[in-house]
Amino acid sequence: MQSFTLPAQYLRQIVGLVGDMGADVPGWLARAQLHEARLGDSDLHLSLATFERLIEDAMARTDEPAFGLLVGERLVVNTHGLLGYAAMNSTTLRQAAQLIERYIALRTSLVSIRLVETEGEARLVFAEAAPLGGIARPVLEAVILAIKNVLDFMTLGSCPLERVSFAFARPAYAGLAHQLCRCEVRYDADWSGFVLPAQSIDQPLKTADAASFRDTEQILQRELAKLTAEQSMSSRVRRVLLEKQGGFPSLSLTARLFHLTPRTLHRRLQAEGTSFKSLLEEVRHTLAQEHLKAGRMTVEEIAYSLGYTDLANFRRAFKRWQRQSPSAYRAEQQAL
């Protein structure tokens, strides 16, 4: 059962929101075999499936489709631990963005973040780093708004984002998203994240403290090295495949990313009861389901995006995974 990284303070913020909205918190937690008293435990670990059920149930109990945005609004800079503190002391927005990109895994393994400079824009692009299924939208909304809050704090609100993009359909609560983001919000985009203000990304920040930044980043470096050493090889490979979707790396290239030989990578995955081929199949299966649910791409486009040059091969693979055709699965999901 796949586990993931999520500090207890984030979970407490989610619990606080559920309670503030008048829902039965003990009953909600009990469905996941949790108790509120355990939320402060440092050894509290949830499976990804349990977390997914918690979020889906929270949205149902509160009847709040914008749940992710409301969680993100609560995640201010001091909820992000050392990463938030280091970001506060960054000398420029660019340095902060690069810091968050490098160390986000210390706060959550649910998403990855990349600073991408393209088409004259500096984009902070957010993507699933774990198969999020039905909670992809609220998770991405929460994380994007949380990081926006950090940048707002650093700039004292003087550098509003140019725009926010979401790679899903425009929801009924789009007006709330615009209100919280305080900038243009686009939906049905091909990426999720936001555009940093180009004119100020390299300007010195008034809140900067180079010495504090340097000292804190050294701690983050040690913590990241420790986390990387503790992670299973299969989870690390799965993360790479999810990050590189649209152009999956080969076994040889993946091994090179980890400074291993292909044979060593194969042996380490085998020791964990899996293989590169199995992990690639798992990621393709997850992404195929998400694309079909979203309904923005044709079956042919989904097949191509997952590396299938022959549509028939994709259809056969999907039938093996789901025991139904891609078209039948899409129709079934749209009827829900």
- pLDDT of 253 reads 92
Q: Edge-to-edge, what's the strand order for the sheet holding 111-118? A: 111-118, 121-128, 192-196, 163-165, 184-186
Q: What is the dihedral of CA 286, 225, 195, 76, to 10 degrees?
A: 100
How many angstroms separate the CA atoms of 2 and 239, rounded?
12
Residue 55 three-state SS: helix
DSSP 101-137: HHHGGGT-SSEEEEEEEETTEEEEEEEESS--GGGHH
- Residue type, position 324, single letter: Q
- pLDDT of 131 reads 78
Question: pTM score, two decimals?
Answer: 0.74
Domains and CATH numbers, the chain: 65-200 (no CATH), 232-336 (1.10.10.60)
Q: 10-residue block means of pLDDT along the chain (336 residues)?
A: 69 94 94 79 71 93 97 92 93 95 90 87 90 91 96 84 94 96 94 89 91 93 82 83 78 90 94 92 86 83 90 94 93 80
- pLDDT of 315 reads 95
Instruction: Judge contact between 137 and 296, C-beta under 8 A.
Output: no
Pick the closest to residue 282 from 246, 329, 314, 242 (CA basis).
Answer: 242
- pLDDT of 44 reads 62
DSSP 304-321: HHTT-SSHHHHHHHHHHH
How many angstroms separate the CA atoms of 73 and 38, rounded?
24
Burial of 225 (0-12, 13-18, 19+ CB in 10 A): exposed
- pLDDT of 245 reads 63
- pLDDT of 119 reads 77
How many angstroms separate the CA atoms of 259 and 49, rounded?
31
